[in-house]
Structure 1
Amino acid sequence: MDFLARVTAMVGGTMVLLRRMSAPTLQAVGAAPSIPQAKKQGLMTLKMPTAQGWSDGHVPTTAPGLKVNAFASDLLHPRWIEVLPNGDVLVAEALQEASKPKGLIDRAAQATMRRARALGVSANRITLWRDVDGDGIAEERHVFLENQRQPFGMALVDGKFYVGNTDGIVVFDYTEGATKLEGPGRKLVDFKPGGHWTRSLIVSPDKTKIYAGVGSLTNIADEGMEAEEGRACIWELDLATEKARIFASGLRNAVGTAWEPVTGKLWTVVNERDGLGDETPPDYLTSVQDGGFYGWPFCYWDRIVDDRVPQDAAKVASAITPDYALGGHTASLGLCWVPDGTLPGFGAGMAIGQHGSWNRSTLSGYRLIHVPFTDGKPSGPPRDILAGFLAPDEKVSYGRPVGVTVGADGKSLLMADDVGDIIWRVTAA
């Protein structure tokens, strides 16, 4: 980082201290969150812990009645997990790549992200891990697919393996038990790369469609709405016709998706906009309606207008209020449905990997949480499944939670940690 960027980062650090004095003490969480009035920050808050990783014997803190172990180690920025029917575990290893900085704030932000291991050279591969003896630790590692463009989401349907690269969805032939995909694959859908680059995938319960989360290019359509065309939405791919369409929009950065079995609805976690305060607006968990619009960039939560954005009154009027707030800037990325009986002490609900904030005066996220559900809806406050990823003084992170899924045994959760470079496995103690 050059001298001017260092100065910018120092100024940003001073702003963190000043903003902490007036920061809200309660998180905006739940179906009816208390969201502080927006305060335009001007100079963005830049605060992210230095990535340290885990020392020998140091592991995340579990909820009572649970234990955790490393299922797989020595990865390179593991982000997303897919468990195959035969029990093989696939891990997408990818990383945000730097674009040309547009100014001093961009330079400082990129330097901060490099220090936190959130920016760099991407591995661009998917690895396969096999637990041969069933002890909860993978003994075999294979390169399943490489030379992709920031692979993230994965899905298997009827002998076809789909990969969500940042620039589109690619399909490959798959043979059960294979440890490597053969052939170049075939591209089915084009996405615009850059910005929020992750492309999660989930198969519909009837296996006829795939849904893909595509995030925005910018914070609040800073480069105009034309640059955001086809972004900030969830796409639907019909597997029979191979035609794709936008399923829902106004979702700034919808990452993890999951099916709720009582209602059959699709749910997602969304990262909201920056620059309005520590808790404003909150990231959220919501069901997703076909054709639904969720506010971005014109408004947030219950049609609260963001006056930094040129307005569209009709769009604001049509915006759907999300179901459940998750707190400001928690960077809730991973999502999976947890059936009752998976983990002791936790009933049916959603597990959410909160990657953790980088732009608020007091850090948030950095944990794996569980939101209980009853009759198809969130029914209580979130509880920690795993914590302890952040040092008490917030200066270093040992890990950062990302993707989460239920293990092949139905009695465990697997969670990707892209700072610890580990896949953690959580089970009954």
Structure 2
Amino acid sequence: MRKHVLIVLGIIVLLGIAIVSWLAWPDAARLSVDQVAGKRPTIGAPREQVIPTVVIAKPVGWAKGTMPQVAQGLAIQPFATGLDHPRWLYELPNGDVLVAETNSPPRDGGGIVQKIMNVFLGRAGAGGPSANRITLLRDTNGDGVADLKTPFLTGLNSPFGMALFDGYLYIGDTDALVRVPYRDGETRITVTPEKVVPLNPGGNHWARNVIASGDGQTLFVSVGSATNIAEKGLDAEKYRAAILQVWPKDKTWRIYAAGLRNANGMALNPKNGRLWTVVNERDMLGSDLAPDYLTQIEFGDHFGWPWYYWGGYPDDRVEPANPALQQYVKRPDYALGPHVAALGLTFSQGARLGDRYAQGVFIGEHGSWNRKPPSGYKVVYVPFGPNGFPLPGAKPVDVVSGFLNARGEAQGRPVGVIVDKKGGLLVADDVGNVVWRVHAAG
């Protein structure tokens, strides 16, 4: 009898320990986002997780009469509403705006971590079917509101980035770079897109961005990793976690830069034509690691993924190790903070938002799922100096915020950002299903 009682007590104790461990499992941040941001962020010790910290905002959308908050001296209004998961924006030469209404293709089943992510990403409004559509928005009377909203190109496969180049509109589908002939002013394209180069699909990080390079001959295409840290093997990461350079006339390509877990927004610095990008770094090292970042890209760069982060800090979870690479890993130029999910990027050239935003970049931060408390869920500005790099000591400045309400629910989540022809800032909000326009107040 006594033996049975002891067994029962032992089971109760073990269950108690398990419950306490489960309740204590989410890793809380010990540093502020600003401490892990800037040119010299604090890089603390990793706190590896088997079960990921999941603190993801429930999507509720914008209640009638509500909208994001903007910095002093700015105002905001809807440019277009009633969209279906608007993620990315591109302005045509005549001022029309294209918006990619898109979402992830069905995700691989994967292991326990992937299943957890699938469940919670679905709850965050990121798991619905993709509209697979590019829509044209036109403001015909110049009041800062699109009064024409019409399907421009349909039948795509999770489209994302768009770029005009040499008479064609190029689109980054999840599995290929495709193109269609383009004539200025047209409001619908019905031809079947032509494949230029294939892109490896599947797994995580489905969005492919594309921009024209400054040489007039090539395009840059970003392809994110299939996994968090190559846990399914390096074969699954072939030609991924990289920025590709494509010669569209020949339909050939090469890896331009590598070790970039999920580079998304790309832009050319108007000061010198150099390529810049924002990158989503790895998960499950704790709420303070690793920082997402903004950086200039040169041909041949390697930023360390999956073996290293922030210029050479080793990730001991990755096997096999790659010690020979460490000395060649490039350190990013500017940290944006941990898990902010930096996606959108545009230089401020042409913006008429005041002197404070005269020289720098706007960044759309989609918001964290793997941090307690949440980070991101805003649009920030990073000021640049006359040398074409972020100012020393500068931290990201909030420009558009309030996407989380007082209950921590997501009224919206910002993604793509562009400066329009009139100097306003357009922001794609894929939970609010709105494109917002920020302009100078008064």
TM bucket (normalised to shorter chain) is: over 0.9
Query: Partners in 1 of 2:193 and 2:357 — Cα distance?
Result: 40
Shift in Å, 1:373: 0.4
Is 1:134 equivalent to 2:146 in the alignment? Answer: no
Aligned to 1:348: 359
Where do residues 33-182 of structure 1 align in structure 2 (5 Å cutoff)?
A: 33-182=41-190
Q: Deviations over 1:401-421 (max 9, x none)?
A: 100001122x11111000000
Q: Deviations over 1:320-343 (max 9, x none)?
A: 000000000000000001127531
Is 1:24 equivalent to 2:31 in the alignment? Answer: yes
Correspondence for 2:284 among 270, 275, 278 = 275
Query: Partners in 2 of 1:184 and 1:11 — Cα distance?
Result: 57
Q: Deviations over 1:359-382 (max 9, x none)?
A: 111100000000000120001221
TM-score under structure 2 length normalisation: 0.91
Aligned to 2:437: 425
Q: Deviations over 1:43-74 (max 9, x none)?
A: 11111011011111101001001000100111
Shift in Å, 1:23: 3.0
> Kindly tell me: are residues 107 and 12 of structure 1, through their superposed partners in 2, closer, same or farther at Cα, counting changes over 3 Å?
farther
Where structure 2 has 5 or more consecutive residues not aligned to the other structure, the ranges are 1-18
Structure 1 counterpart of 2:273, one-letter code:
G
Query: What is the identity percentage for the equivalent residue pairs of Structure 1 and Structure 2?
Result: 44
Aligned to 1:3: none
Is 1:185 equivalent to 2:193 in the alignment? Answer: yes
Shift in Å, 1:26: 4.7
> Kindly tell me: are residues 207 and 110 of structure 1, through their superposed partners in 2, closer, same or farther at Cα, counting changes over 3 Å?
same
Where do residues 177-216 of structure 1 align in structure 2 (5 Å cutoff)?
A: 177-194=185-202, 195-216=204-225
- Stretches (4+) displaced over 6 A: 10-13
> Kindly tell me: are residues 12 and 60 of structure 1, through their superposed partners in 2, closer, same or farther at Cα, counting changes over 3 Å?
farther
SS in 1 for 2:294: strand
Give the greater-gyration-radius structure (CA).
2
Query: Partners in 2 of 1:129 and 1:172 — Cα distance?
Result: 19
> Kindly tell me: are residues 204 and 420 of structure 1, through their superposed partners in 2, closer, same or farther at Cα, counting changes over 3 Å?
same
Moved more, 327-336 or 384-393: 384-393
Structure 2 counterpart of 1:312, one-letter code:
N
Aligned to 1:6: none
Is 1:311 equivalent to 2:318 in the alignment? Answer: no
Q: Deviations over 1:209-238 (max 9, x none)?
A: 110110000000011111101000001112
Query: Partners in 1 of 2:428 and 2:64 — Cα distance?
Result: 18
Where do residues 212-291 of structure 1 align in structure 2 (5 Å cutoff)?
A: 212-291=221-300
> Kindly tell me: are residues 12 and 424 of structure 1, through their superposed partners in 2, closer, same or farther at Cα, counting changes over 3 Å?
farther
> Kindly tell me: are residues 72 and 378 of structure 1, through their superposed partners in 2, closer, same or farther at Cα, counting changes over 3 Å?
same
CA RMSD of aligned residues (A): 1.6
Correspondence for 1:293 among 302, 312, 317 = 302
Query: Partners in 1 of 2:316 and 2:147 — Cα distance?
Result: 54
Is 1:408 equivalent to 2:418 in the alignment? Answer: no
Query: Partners in 1 of 2:230 and 2:67 — Cα distance?
Result: 40
Query: Partners in 2 of 1:12 and 1:148 — Cα distance?
Result: 45
Where structure 1 has 5 or more consecutive residues not aligned to the other structure, the ranges are 1-9
Q: Deviations over 1:229-272 (max 9, x none)?
A: 10000011123433211100000000000111223210000000
Q: Deviations over 1:381-426 (max 9, x none)?
A: 21111000012342x11100100001122x1111100000000000
